[in-house]
Each structure stands twice: as structure tokens, then as C-alpha cells.
Structure 1
């Protein structure tokens, strides 16, 4: 692709993405304001359904924009057995901002609409906080160990707050997404964290353990998703917008949510150690899988 064509594609993609996002988010925000003014359960449920529909429209619009790229190929494995009427906890490596687009576009027809655990601070961002709240995305307040030492009365409050915010998910199928590494992969972060993996940052177990502790019995499966952009590894999001993204690789592994994955991560040291070992082993397998993909493993299926 020529530089001129890439530049034109970039401008058009950004403009269309902004238009689509505004078109879908404004009704969500207005619905959220209605939700604030009419705190009635039946109204809340109707508004939540409407907001999910608008998010689906947003995902479908992004899918259309991606399909306009004639060079883009999807390499997908593991969609079999997924069901929009079930509950899932989705964990994934985090390479780029493109990851959220890929997850929304790929899974919109296969599983319930994605809900992301968000930091409490995001609730106060104008428009974004209200839109995410209207979409029933739970906000989590995390306390550091030093803070809990000074304020022991707050111990367990993060779990209880999460439990209350997730109660609504018990009434309708939901997919909760957790980017386990906590932030996007960069070479600098890879060095700073002294990651034992070649292509990943060390996983942070607390968030996954908390979600399983709060809603563990509700989840039908844990979805272990591996994302990779083997031919656009450096700047996949920019390449996506400029039409230079050529291949998206997604591997989905369904894991049963057994009793061994339920426990008190904060207070049970034995459970905490075992859970960390389990997640680290899962991440080691994911790292090997990415290495195989980058080494030139064949394309298995399209999308």
C-alpha cells in the first residue's frame, strides 16, 4: 500500500470511527440520564437492554469498517461451543488498543455483550463514565496493601462492592472481560516488570480471582483468549486504522470453572499461591502459542 493511500485511509477511518462512536454513544448517554432520573428496576432493565443493543450496533459498525480492508485476514480457532445464553469470564493478553475492537467485533454474535471491569476513577470522566455505567460495566475500587494496613475496616470492601455491582448479571447472560496483564504490552514494560515470558507481561491474578470469587458459580466457562498480530506486531492499532493490518490471529480455549478456582485470594495464602501458579502456567502456554504463531503456523480458518 502506498503512503498516500495509507494516509487517506487513516483519515477516513478515524473520521468514520468518530461518527459511529458518537452516533451510538449519545443514545447510551441519554438512556443513562433517564436511568438516573427513574431508578425503577423495570425501567433499568429496559434501558440496559437498549444500551446493549446500541453497543451491538457500534460493534457491527466497526466490523463493517474492518471488512472494507481487502487485505485483512482473520485466523480464528475455538469459536465452537460458544453460546449467547451463557455466562463467561474472558481473560486475554493485551497487546494494543486494537484488542478491544477485535474482541467486540469477533464475539458480538457468539457470546453476550462484553462488560469490562473498570477502575473507579473512570466513573468521573465526563460522558465516558456515564456511558459505561449505563452499559452496566462494574466499577472496582482497589485498595493497596499499605492503605489496608492503615484502614483495616476497608478490608473486603472491594469484593463486597464488586459483588453488589455484579448482582444484575445474575439475571441475564453476561461476558466479563479482564485484561490480566493490567496494561498494554510494550518493550519498556516488558523490561521493567522483568517478565519471564517472551511476548507477554506477567499476569495479575487478583482481578481474575476476585471475579471468580464474586460470580464464580455463575460462569459457565472461563474463556482464555490469545490475540496476536503476527505481521503488524509493532503498531497494530495504527495499522488497523490506516488499512495496513493484514492478519488477526485469535485462539479461544474454554476452561471449566472448577471449585479449585474459587477461594479467598486476599486472606487465604495457600489459595493465593496455588491460583498464581495456575495463572502463570496458563500464561506460559499462551506465550508458547504466540511464539508458534509468529514462527509461521498455518492459517486454520477465516472469519
Structure 2
């Protein structure tokens, strides 16, 4: 999904209700120490990750590959139950300032990051039933969480569609090719960027529909 506001996650949960299993997403392990929020993530079996920065790996090479191991461990907790794993490919919430800073080629999106999705495919493999592309628009401006609770969001648009990933690419990602094979990484970036161009055009079209 594209990502503009903390409201996005609630919208995803609402749209998924009675259609998809409970939505979960990778969370930082440190969030477990936040009262209520951390405990909720823990008891709902959200995959909680201990991530290691490039700087940490440089200082301690033994940490290389730990992210994959940690992801597989986190996902293993979910394999006996259905779930939907939410991934925001932009890695952070969109703002025009962020778009300009990173010189994003898209009008409504930041540059996508393929690593998180590649990691999930590597960790879950054949357990994945399918990949859904969700696009969210707010024609009256990006809302805050407070506005959600106050009932001030009057209009929004959501588009959900099933997408296919090439079998060869999926198999390579499942085998860890994203981390170990430059050709796989390039193919993954090309596939994700193609999806992102389509999503950017879709957002323009969705917003235009509210103007009619």
C-alpha cells in the first residue's frame, strides 16, 4: 500500500474486515515497551523485528543475515493461522517535502523500497497465497488520527487488486536471491517500479473521479 497517514492502517483493517484475515505488519521489537500498544502487538502475534543497521553490520559482520533469520522466526509464529501481512513499500509516510528531497519521479509517491517485500517472500515462501496491491486516496486532504476519531473523514477512495509476480522472480526471492544475486535485485526493482508507475497514475485517476 501507499502510505500517507497513520490513518492508513485503520483504513486497511476496515476494508479487510470480512474479506481478509487480520492484518499484521512487521514492527520494531522496541515497541513492545510502549504501554498498551506494545502488548497489543505481542498478544496478536505481530512479527516483531530486531533490525540491524548497515553501520552495526559493518562493526560486527556476524550480524549479517540476521534480519532474514529474525523475519523467518517472527513469521513462523503466524504459520498456523491465516493472516494478511501489510507492507508500506515507501518505508515512511509521503509528504511533498520528502518527495522533493529524494527527487522522486512520481507525483503522489515516494520511491519504493523492495527490500521489505523481498524479505517477506524469502521468509514465507509457499505460505503466501497471493499479493494484493492497495491504493488509498484522501480527496479532501491527508487526515490525522485525531480527525479519524472525530469522524471528520467524509470521503476517501480505496482500490484493491490482485497482482502477479513472475514465477522465476518469486522462486529466486524465496531462495534468498535478493541478498545474494544482483540480477535478482535488479529484476525485483524493475517489477516494483513498474507497479509504482501504475499506482501513481491510478492515484491521479482516483482523485479526478472525486472532481466529477
Q: 1:248 to 1:236 in 2, by over 3 A?
A: farther
> 2:159 corresponds to which residue?
251
Residue 244 (structure 1) shift: 3.5
Q: Structure 1 residues 278-287 or 138-147, which shifts more?
A: 138-147
**Structure 1 gap ranges (5+):** 1-91
Equivalent in 142, 147, 150 of residue 56 of structure 2: 147
Q: Deviations over 1:125-160 (max 9, x none)?
A: 233222211110011222222322222111111111
> How do 1:230-269 residues align onto structure 2 when only pairs under 5 Å count?
230=139, 232-235=140-143, 237-257=145-165, 258-262=167-171, 263=173, 264=176, 265-269=178-182
Residue 171 (structure 1) shift: 1.3
> 2:138 corresponds to which residue?
229
Quote the RMSD (CA, aligned, Å).
2.0
Residue 121 (structure 1) shift: 2.0
Do residues 295 (structure 1) and 204 (structure 2) align? no
CA contact (8 A) 2:132 2:160 kept: yes
Q: Could you tell me the TM-score, scaled by structure 2's length?
A: 0.89
CA contact (8 A) 2:136 2:159 kept: yes
> 1:78 corresponds to which residue?
none
> 2:188 corresponds to which residue?
275
CA contact (8 A) 1:123 1:133 kept: yes
Q: 1:266 to 1:240 in 2, by over 3 A?
A: same
Residue 220 (structure 1) shift: 0.8
CA contact (8 A) 1:236 1:245 kept: no
Aligned counterparts of 1:133 and 1:242: Cα–Cα separation in 2: 28
CA contact (8 A) 1:220 1:256 kept: no
Q: Deviations over 1:160-219 (max 9, x none)?
A: 111012113221211111111111111221122211110011111111100011102111
Q: Deviations over 1:89-140 (max 9, x none)?
A: xxx0011122111111111210110111102221222332222111100112
> 1:122 corresponds to which residue?
31
Q: Which has the larger radius of gyration?
A: 1
Secondary structure of 2:24 counterpart? strand
Aligned counterparts of 1:195 and 1:142: Cα–Cα separation in 2: 26
CA contact (8 A) 1:229 1:236 kept: no
Aligned counterparts of 1:281 and 1:158: Cα–Cα separation in 2: 27
Aligned counterparts of 1:103 and 1:234: Cα–Cα separation in 2: 15
CA contact (8 A) 1:226 1:250 kept: yes
Residue 296 (structure 1) shift: 2.4
> 1:284 corresponds to which residue?
197
